[in-house]
A and B are shown apart, each in its own frame.
Chain A
Amino acid sequence: MPYTADKPVPPPTAEQLRARVPGWGADLDPADRPAWPKERFAPGVSGAHWEYPDEQQPREGREKSIEHLQLTPVFGTAQPLHGLSGAIRRYAYDRFSEGRAAHWLLLVAGDRVESTGAHLRSLVTLRPDNPVTETGLLSELHRHPIASRRGRVDVRHQVLDPVIVAGPWLVAGGVAWMLARRLLRR
């Protein structure tokens, strides 16, 4: 096929498309598309009846990015910083901007420290982490696990998932078994 100025594969006509697709061309005019123009200065259309919002209280101790000039007037209070993971995260926020890989990698490290600690703590509670119910493995029983995976390219990666999920449990179990055996031999 030679490369000419014309479109090599002409599209169907508007009439053909209207007959096939409900609403075809309803937003042909870019002015009918709500994201156009991209930015339009229109204060007051959002429903905000303040120039600057009231500041949520209390504000002490809430971590923030060093790229922010101030703590934002409103913020989430879902899971405050605590413990070792909290110290790692606070250091990431206080020391590194969002442009630094160290910022994000420290936050990821904080996540791993917290999830490991939470898991260990759960073992001494009335509701320890349950690797069967919490990973949703029971859905395999009635969600066509074999037929759903037939012919998929991501299956070769999914074989790693049980290793990642069950591996730490098996290692911890092995260590516990060895320790118990050593204690019993004494």
Chain B
Amino acid sequence: MRAMTYRGPYKVRVEEKDKPRIEHPNDAIVRVTLAAICGSDLHLYHGMMPDTRIGHTFGHEFIGVVDEVGSSVEGLKVGDRVMVPFNIYCGSCWFCARGLYSNCHNVNPNATAIGGIYGYSHSTGGYDGGQAEYVRVPFADVGPMVIPDWLADEDALLLTDAFSTGYFGAQLGDIVEGDTVVVLGAGPVGLAAARSAWLMGAGRVISIDQLDYRLEKAASFAFAETRNYTHYDDIVVEMKKTTGGLGADVVIDAVGAEADGNLVQHVTSAKLKLQGGSPVALNWAIDGVRKGGTISVMGAYGPLFSAVKFGDAMNKGLTLRMNQAPVKRQWPRLLEHIQAGYLKPSEMITHRIPLEHIAEGYHMFSSKLDGCIKTVVVPGS
């Protein structure tokens, strides 16, 4: 089969790989019909995620058609059109029994801090991902869901991670009616979080980013007020001024480790991989939220250290909530919202490319060229 493979930092290509096979009785093999490139794939692409091995196939956002099922699979059959949450989880361990699917203890031998994720290095279990023609889907009775007939493929694709994660980020903000919500980052997850904050009763939603084209999307797709932080001497002061001096009730960090820090941070993290990235976004969240406020972290941070202003967080009495989204828990409610016409996640897609052009897709996304917000990858085209 054809699959994207990692060749080292900033280098990927498409090559022939063996088609995945059933390795466990509850596995399924899914023929991928659509995949996407996620912002957190860039941590792998930039060589920042430890234990990313040569030949690894990325891609944790994908949908497809069931091609083969293992002997103990009861809920899926060959030919089913399925969406697959980016989390791999067993459904039965201590964490899964409490709904913490992204924290499953039975699928990732390489670490205990995080569960399994498709195509996200051996730090998350060593599973190849969906930027390929076929992918192995463990625990087929637990993770995937048959896509309802009325749901379009591209909307389903966005539910496998980006939109569900943004919605989860808004939930973790514990928003109450009238809250002022600041969303750091206007990439796909930030856009979804901003849009979702309204569902939960936000009174104001403010998106902050450095790219005007993304802020335009935040205004049109997520109905947010926007601030381009490069236009302000100090964005924290602007966050205070716009909230009457107090700060926002809720700040959602949808940026993560690769925030654009100072030169020293950039060289030691992005270039030398000696720290887990720049803590700029997280520190802005701590500074910009009001005392007693809540910070929700959706941005992906690697396991390496980075300097976070934890003293300020303590002094301000903040609540910090964070996790990888347990995607499948969000689906029933999100499907209701899509069916009611409140949301159309696929509106954030800007580019569609064949799998064979994926190296160019990664460069375009990494370098933020051509107004790129979300890129869909189509195998076999």
Interface residues of A (CB under 8 A from B): 1, 3, 7-9, 11-12, 14, 17, 20-28, 30, 32-36, 39-43, 46-54, 56, 62-65, 67-68, 71-79, 85, 89, 93, 98, 101, 104-105, 107-108, 110-112, 114-116, 118-119, 122, 127, 129-131, 133-140, 143-145, 148-149, 151-154, 156-158, 160-161, 164-165
Contacts and interface: CB of A to CB of B under 8 A. Distances in A.
A159 to B, nearest CB: 11
A115 B7 contact: yes
Of the candidates B177, B362, B369, the one having the most CB atoms from chain A within 10 angstroms of its own CB is: B369
A136 B360 contact: yes
A47 B141 contact: yes
Contacts of A28: 177, 200-201
11 contacts: A8-B243, A21-B198, A26-B199, A46-B142, A71-B109, A78-B126, A93-B110, A108-B273, A135-B10, A148-B370, A157-B263
Contact of B122 (A3, A76, A153): A76
Nearest to B168: A35
Of the candidates B89, B101, B122, B326, the one having the most CB atoms from chain A within 10 angstroms of its own CB is: B122
B125 A105 contact: no
Interface of A is mostly: loop
A52 B332 CA distance: 26
Contacts of A3: 245-246
B54 A79 contact: yes
Contact of A68 (B97, B99, B109, B199): B109
Nearest to B359: A136
B286 to A, nearest CB: 20
Contacts of B99: 39-40, 42
Contacts of B210: 152-154
B92 A50 contact: yes
Contact of A107 (B51, B72, B266, B364): B51
A79 B191 CA distance: 35
Contacts of A30: 174
Interface residues of B, number: 111
Interface in B244-287: 244-246, 260, 263, 266-267, 270-271, 273-274
Contacts, number: 296
A48 B92 contact: yes
Contacts of B367: 145, 148-149, 158
Contacts of B123: 107
B244 A8 contact: yes
Given A74-B106, A78-B128, A151-B230, A35 B361 contact: no
Given A52-B92, A153-B230, A140 B369 contact: yes
